[in-house]
Structure 1
Amino acid sequence: MLESYVKLTINNEIGYIEFFHPNRNSMPSDVLLELTQTIQEAGNNNAVKVIVLKSGGNRTFCAGASFSEVISIKDEITGKQFFSGFANVINAMRKCPKLIIGRVQGKAVGGGVGLAAATDYCLATQYASIRLSELSIGIGPFVIEPVVSKKIGKTAMSQMTIDAETFFSSEFAKDKGLYAEVLETTEELDEAVENLAVKLASYNPEALQHMKTVIWEGTDHWDDLLLERAKISGKLVLSEFTKKTLKRFR
């Protein structure tokens, strides 16, 4: 049985952060915590000029929240703590002083869309369709909404949220601004990510850091906002509707 992991590899001043979970790269609490810490570590490492965020495996980029852990939530405090994991990752990416390039090789669902949106520049393959499925299981994309809306706009976010059972194509994601470029194959994706990362690593790091600040202007209140949103999700996940719905996914 493959085990989950988060690892940081530094090569030519590029920090590659890779996360993996055997269940379609879903996100349990321990992976979320480790990912937050690894992003902070790379951000504070002087040997890293630019960061690439990627997931292991060839298929799903990230399936979002770990349903098995969500099902086990028994009270609002535990619920808020779990969803705060996503808030912490997004805030770590937002506050990281290094630019973060996203490498999305496959489907992104729920929190996976939030991760892609929280990168500063995201590249994907044609197979990287996206879905915000939360409403269909009785909650909503509350924690990731601010970062998704920031990237693709409130209208597109609302469309995806309401049409919760539809996968929207990678071209839709590109048209709305989530992906900067869509490549045909994983090999082409890796080449494009590498070329961009090498180029950025050669630029003035001070200029890159100032650019990062400009990109995230107006989000200083997110430390509080995303935790408030986690509280909403943590409460809704206890509903009979959600518990009954999630049992079907076991």
Structure 2
Amino acid sequence: MYQTLELRREGKLATLSLNRPDVRNAFNETTIAELTAAFSALGADPDVRVIVLAANGVAFCAGADLNWMKKMADYTHQENLADAAQLANMLHTIYTCPKPVVAKVQGDCYAGGMGLVAACDMVVAVDTANFCLSEVKLGLIPATISPYVIKAMGENAARRYFLTAERFDAAEAKRTGFAHEVVSADALDAKVAELVKALGNNSPNAVRQAKRLVRDVGGREISAALIAATVDDIAQIRASQEGREGVRSFLEKRKPDWLV
């Protein structure tokens, strides 16, 4: 089905893996199109509750493919705009996917690969992984990925690593907030499975709405409009089918119907 990805389904879990290990999973226009299509389809699939974004091989993602970059060197301004828009659309599709997305980072993650990871909801990284925002070394800037990377690691850390292009380790990724969990290689699968299980135990609608809530509220001033919006949010979900079922099952000391 895919040229550059591998999709595995296990019950309500979908694992989507970057599958170009020979080029350290560097992405090109095909990868971008396939990731956009895959996340759109999985996000709309009622049988999918959780998505894991993983990679095959020793590296998670080396950023942009060199052959793709060679082609871009001859692009006109309009062609560059169109190309960058495809990448931006892919990142936004992952970021706004209604299903929770867990990044499983089993190896090095550079440049655009950091954008992929930052667009996910949760990040579990192996302790041997290295990270780098290397664009300025090539005379470029991490513009398209910047909204997601800055949200993930914060402005202060981004200011340093955007400008220096230093390589940093998984411990530093966790310290900045870019990675949520850092584990040894033999514990990586178990930690991801732990998060997948936790996500699968929760109301699918509530998880979807909670993900939207973080996007809507994060970074906004606590104003009368924001307070009103959150009041409306809780009123809406209390009256929803899963909201009523969740409270009822708790009071009746039984499993809610999404776990039956």
**TM-score of the superposition, structure 2-length normalised?**
0.79
| 1:200 maps to 2:178 | no
**Matched residue SS, 2:7:** strand
Distance in 2 between residues matched to 1:169 and 1:4, nearest whole Å:
31
Does the CA-based 8 Å contact 2:26-2:62 persist in structure 1? yes
Q: How big is the shift at 1:161?
A: 1.0
Q: How big is the shift at 1:125?
A: 0.3
Q: 5 Å matches for 1:204-215?
A: 204-215=203-214
**Matched residue SS, 1:77:** helix
Distance in 2 between residues matched to 1:71 and 1:125, nearest whole Å:
31
CA deviation vs aligned residue, 1:20-79 (integer Å, no higher than 9, x gap): 22211001001110011101111000110111111111x110011112111112222222
1:142 corresponding residue in structure 2: 143
Distance in 2 between residues matched to 1:69 and 1:143, nearest whole Å:
16
Does the CA-based 8 Å contact 2:4-2:30 persist in structure 1? no
Does the CA-based 8 Å contact 1:28-1:69 persist in structure 2? yes
Distance in 2 between residues matched to 1:8 and 1:218, nearest whole Å:
32
Does the CA-based 8 Å contact 2:102-2:120 persist in structure 1? yes
Q: How big is the shift at 1:10?
A: 1.7
| 1:42 maps to 2:64 | no
Larger Rg: 2
Does the CA-based 8 Å contact 1:14-1:51 persist in structure 2? yes
Distance in 1 between residues matched to 2:3 and 2:175, nearest whole Å:
33
2:79 corresponding residue in structure 1: 78
Does the CA-based 8 Å contact 2:127-2:182 persist in structure 1? yes
CA deviation vs aligned residue, 1:175-217 (integer Å, no higher than 9, x gap): 11111110111x3111110121122112110110111102222
Does the CA-based 8 Å contact 2:132-2:168 persist in structure 1? yes
1:9 corresponding residue in structure 2: 8
Question: What is the percent sequence identity of the aligned residues?
Answer: 29
CA deviation vs aligned residue, 1:119-143 (integer Å, no higher than 9, x gap): 1011000122110010110110000
| Structure 1 residue ranges without an equivalent (≥5) | 220-250
Does the CA-based 8 Å contact 1:99-1:120 persist in structure 2? yes
CA deviation vs aligned residue, 1:70-96 (integer Å, no higher than 9, x gap): 111222222223322321221101221
1:95 corresponding residue in structure 2: 96
* Corresponding letter in the other structure for 1:33: A
* Corresponding letter in the other structure for 1:91: H
Q: 5 Å matches for 1:47-126?
A: 47-57=47-57, 59-73=58-72, 74=74, 75-126=76-127
Q: Which has the higher contact order (CA 8 A, sep 6+)?
A: 1
* Corresponding letter in the other structure for 2:178: L
1:170 corresponding residue in structure 2: 170
Number of equivalences: 214
Q: Aligned-pair RMSD on alpha carbons?
A: 1.6
**Matched residue SS, 1:72:** helix
Which shifted more, 66-75 or 24-33? 66-75
Q: How big is the shift at 1:4?
A: 5.0
Which shifted more, 79-88 or 12-21? 79-88
Does the CA-based 8 Å contact 2:13-2:50 persist in structure 1? yes
Does the CA-based 8 Å contact 1:53-1:102 persist in structure 2? yes
2:180 corresponding residue in structure 1: 180
